[in-house]
Structure 1
Amino acid sequence: MNIGYIRVSDKSQNPDRQIEKMKAIGIEERFIFVDRQSGKDFSRPAYQSMKRVLRAGDLLYLDALDRLGRDYDGIIDEWKDMTRNIGADIVVLEQESLFDSRKFREMGELGKLMEDQFLSLLSYVAAQERKKIRTRQREGIDLARRKGVRFGRPRVETTKDFRETIERWRNGEVTAREAMRICRMSPSTFYRRVEEWKEELR
């Protein structure tokens, strides 16, 4: 059976190009597994579902090696688990001339040695690319912060009668739930702002 595995890094990215590629080589849509998640590890729902379906003699297609993952040791371990323990084969479409495990299998022990060398090289490249991406993201965030951009949820401003409501709550005139309703705040925001208000009074 032919199976396709697809991964994009987050929900904002579109997997359609990879899906169409898999369909073009004759893989049925029900056997195309798609994750919208980082490649830092292999605890991805679609990936784990794919491995549960994968059997000896199956052929797994990847668009590129980094779609499998971006963890150096993990890529090598998962590749070997699927090809040597499960007995399936893997084809990486972007490097098909290099990465078609059927070719290595035909070469016996020499093929295993060559496969290990190629995997080590390209897994290292995939892992380094992930490090570069994280560095670029960190640099971008730092630059944005220096320019005054704030990240996270926008701060909920206190209402005019916030302090009056807090005083009533502290005096037992209203319940905490009623005070939150008046101030239009969630419990976490309400108690955080109460603590901030206390700090202002010191």
Structure 2
Amino acid sequence: MTGTMYGYIRVSTKDQNDDRQRIAMKKYGVAKENIFADKQSGKDFERPGYKALLKKIRECDTLIIKSIDRLGRDFNEIIEQWRHITLEKKCGIVVLDMKLLNTGLDRSLLDRLVAEIMLIALSYVAETEREMMRQRVVEGIAAAKARGVAVGRKPIQLPHNFEFIWDLWAQGELSGREAARQLGVDNHTFAKWAKEIG
């Protein structure tokens, strides 16, 4: 492998811990000073850490990521960024959790083609699953409202950002405790909402 190895890590909120990704980078041999990080949602690529990374990497360098969803959540944008890095910048990409996606510069043209096909398929599946999850949230909320079950005190209204936070929790990006904190409710209330919707 030629050039310099750079790592990119991302968690969805400032309160989340990125130690697991940092440990994986260190174990792979990425120098601490070559790791770029963001603590925000992967809904787009307007992130300071990612932008700084793109300015830094040069031809023959290799980008290391823990998993493909650390790059982002949007299917089309992930594909666009992947091609920008591998084709325009002529850098390799190593996905630690799925070696089949690796496009390291030492791999054959066929290997790199297979990796790109796999990336397209996996990104599509991931986005389809997220859409289905959002649909389940919407349907679950509607069903809960239709049941109209009100025992004891008046139920707390679902916060405006509930759907977004529930989505992150359902994907394992937020703990139940953190999801409840961000929604401004106790753990019991969040667990109850999650059970009704799930």
**TM-score, normalized by length of structure 1?**
0.64
Considering only aligned residues, what root-mean-square deviation do their CA atoms show, in Å?
2.5
Cα distance change, pair 131–38 in 1 and its aligned pair in 2 (3 A): farther
- Letter of the aligned partner of 2:124 in structure 1? Y
Q: Which residue matches 1:49?
A: 52
Residues 16-53 of structure 1: CA deviation (Å, up to 9, x unaligned): 11011111222121111111111111111101111110
Report the CA distance between 1:106 and its aligned residue: 3.7
Q: Which residue matches 1:124?
A: 124
Report the CA distance between 1:141 and its aligned residue: 7.5
- Letter of the aligned partner of 2:10 in structure 1? R
Q: Which residue matches 2:156?
A: 148
Cα distance change, pair 27–141 in 1 and its aligned pair in 2 (3 A): farther
| Structure 2 gaps, min length 5 | 149-154, 161-198
- Letter of the aligned partner of 2:103 in structure 1? S
Residues 121-150 of structure 1: CA deviation (Å, up to 9, x unaligned): 111133234435545666787769x82246
CA–CA distance in structure 2, aligned partners of residues 16 and 134 of structure 1: 28
Residues 81-114 of structure 1: CA deviation (Å, up to 9, x unaligned): 1011101100000001x011027x7432x44542
| Larger relative contact order, structure 1 or 2 (CA cutoff 8 Å, min sep 6) | 2
Q: Which has the higher helix share?
A: 1
1:77 aligns with 2:80: yes
- What number of residue pairs does the alignment pair up? 148
Q: Which residue matches 1:198?
A: none
Q: Which residue matches 1:114?
A: 114
Runs of 4+ in 1 over 4 A off after TM superposition: 132-144
CA–CA distance in structure 2, aligned partners of residues 9 and 136 of structure 1: 21
Cα distance change, pair 74–91 in 1 and its aligned pair in 2 (3 A): same
Select the structure of larger CA radius of gyration. 1
Report the CA distance between 1:151 and its aligned residue: 3.7
Task: Find the partner of 2:103 among 101, 104, 111.
Answer: 101
Asked if the contact 1:71–1:126 (Cα under 8 Å) also holds between the matched residues in 2, the reply is no
- Letter of the aligned partner of 1:148 in structure 2? I
| Structure 1 gaps, min length 5 | 153-202
